[in-house]
Amino acid sequence: MPTGFSHSLLGVAAGKIFGSERFKKTKIRFWILSFICPSLPDLDVIGYYLGIPYAHVMGHRGITHSLFFALIMAILITIIFFRSEKFSSKNNLLIATYFTLIIASHGLLDGFTNGGHGIAYFAPFINDRYFFSFNPLQVAVLNPKKFFTEQGFDVLKNEFMWLWLPTIIILIINAIVHRTNKKFNEIKNRNGK
């Protein structure tokens, strides 16, 4: 996995692009969930302590990294945390799609790493593990003690190059497009009066 922080960074960036303005009343929970949800799949590390083998569907990078898990979690999150509207409302369907994507982004990123086991994208239906054929992301150190070693620092450098930098560039482009649109609309409204 990339470090949990990088997964969450992508969630927050996605939230920024998706736009929290639509959910004024639920803004705080939207942001907290955008930060937490992309890291949820790694809760499966608990399996290590329970003696579940890595290759088992309940093991690390198993079912919690699947598209099915992302969808089920997103539906539950929408029902529990955004219940002021019906699940079938346009806003809540959008929210469910958004959370499915940011939770699924975790497994997709893991598929670009250069170590560990493959990802069970299609569990529980097909439990085979997959990787993408392009693996620029260095696999993160799972042992917290190794985090502040040279190896840990290499992982951070690698994630900065491949994840943070592109994310920052996308956010800047998004901000420019947003601002240009706003100005354009202001001019249009002024001329319309």
Q: Which residues bind Zn ion (CB under 5 A)?
A: 1, 42, 110
- For the chain, the 3-state helix, strand and coil shares in percent, each to the nearest 5, are 70, 0, 30
Nearer to Zn ion, 26 or 113 (CB): 113
Nearer to Zn ion, 14 or 104 (CB): 104
Q: With beta carbons less than 8 A apart as the criterion, state whether 176 and 23 touch.
A: no
Min dist. Cβ of residue 79 to Zn ion (A): 25
Min dist. Cβ of residue 14 to Zn ion (A): 17
Nearer to Zn ion, 1 or 96 (CB): 1
Min dist. Cβ of residue 125 to Zn ion (A): 20
Min dist. Cβ of residue 64 to Zn ion (A): 8
Nearer to Zn ion, 33 or 120 (CB): 120
Q: With beta carbons less than 8 A apart as the criterion, state whether 87 and 79 touch.
A: yes
